[in-house]
Every structure is written in C-alpha cells, then in structure tokens.
Amino acid sequence: MIALIQRVTQAQVDVNGKTVGKIGKGLLVLLGVEKDDDRMRADKLAEKVLNYRVFGDENDKMNLNVQQAGGELLVVSQFTLVADTQRGLRPSFSQGADPDLANELYGYFVQKCGEKIQVATGEFAAEMKVSLTNDGPVTFWLQS
C-alpha cells in the first residue's frame, strides 16, 4: 500500500463538475492499493500518515503531525501509484489490487484515519479532478 502525501493549504476533488471532497490545511493523500495488501498494511500506513511529522512547529521545524497541526485529510484513491514503470514506455498495473479489494481497503483506510481526524474523500473509480495548493512544496512517498 502506497500513500503519496502532500502538505496543503487547501485541496479539493471534483467529479462531473461537483465538489465531492474538500479540506483546508492538512494532507492530500493519494492512496494506491497493491494486490497483496491487507488490513494490517492499511493500519500501519494509516498510523504512519497520521503521525508523520511534516508540519512546522514554533521554530518552523517539521516536528508536528497533521493531528497536532490541527489539519485534515483528503484521501483520493489512485491506482496509478502502484504502476511498474521500470521497463518500456507504458506502465504496467500488474501489481495493482483488483477493484473490489482496492475499494474495500480504501474505505477501511479512510475509516481508520477518520477515527482520529476529519477526513474528506474522492470517489472511488471515478474520473476526478484534484486541485491543491501544495504548501512548501512538501511531498512524501510512504509505503507499508
């Protein structure tokens, strides 16, 4: 399971011209689910996302996590994160989870994070337009 996290001052997801998820300060989490992922990996990644220290403290050092910074999460399913790009000029998605497993683990990840912090979401398997203001820019690749 992979999370590409971006520290943002705002982010939103639109589907068919309608906003389905929106946050202010927090993390945009692009989430990719691989075929061997399970709830244990989702738990581990949720803990990491919630506790990863990417927000500035009073000395502007990255010592605060999203919860301590009073931020929110916007979690967007993104299967392209699990693409194999090592060979050729076209990505392979052979490591991606089947849609049923991916949707189940996406929902589970959102639920686990939602137990501790405000979470907005995109729409699984929809054609989404994601907009954000990356703060920093600060972007990290996390994997469980």
Whether 80 is a known active-site residue: answer yes
| Nearest C-alpha neighbor of 131 from the set 34, 9, 4 | 9
Catalytic residue of the set 6, 12, 55, 79? 79
Catalytic residue of the set 6, 12, 55, 78? 78
Whether 109 is a known active-site residue: answer no
Whether 111 is a known active-site residue: answer no
- Backbone φ, ψ for residue 120 (5° rounding): -110, 160
Catalytic residue of the set 80, 85, 111, 133? 80
**How far lies 64's CA from each of 32, 57, 96, 100, 136, in Å?**
25, 6, 32, 35, 15
Residue 47: CB partners within 8 Å, gap ≥ 6?
A: none
* Residues tagged active-site: 78-80
